[in-house]
Amino acid sequence: MTIRINLDLILVSRKMKSNELAKLVGITEQNLSILKTGKAKAIRMTTLDAICKHLDCQPGDILEYSDDNKDS
């Protein structure tokens, strides 16, 4: 997958735990874990909006594109 999830880095920088963010956003800790590990196939825009609101960040701070198949 070429989309990297930097949610762990943002959580650490905000000194917030995953379970706290999950409660604030209104999703289960399990669903947040799936997102953090990059195993999620999609994310609702309302969920991304809530995460950004509570972490005071931009979507680009959380999601990063990396071309893993780039020719050298």
Q: Name the residue ranges covered by the structural domains of the chain.
A: 3-63
3-63: CATH topology:
434 Repressor (Amino-terminal Domain) (1.10.260)
Yes or no: say if 47 and 25 are a contact pair by the CB < 8 Å rule: yes
Distance between CA atoms of 7 and 28, rounded to whole angstroms? Answer: 15
pTM as predicted: 0.86
Please report, in tens digits, the pLDDT of each residue of the chain (72 residues total): 589 999 999 999 999 999 999 999 999 999 999 999 999 999 999 999 999 999 999 999 999 998 876 654
CA angle 35, 17, 26 (to 5 degrees): 60
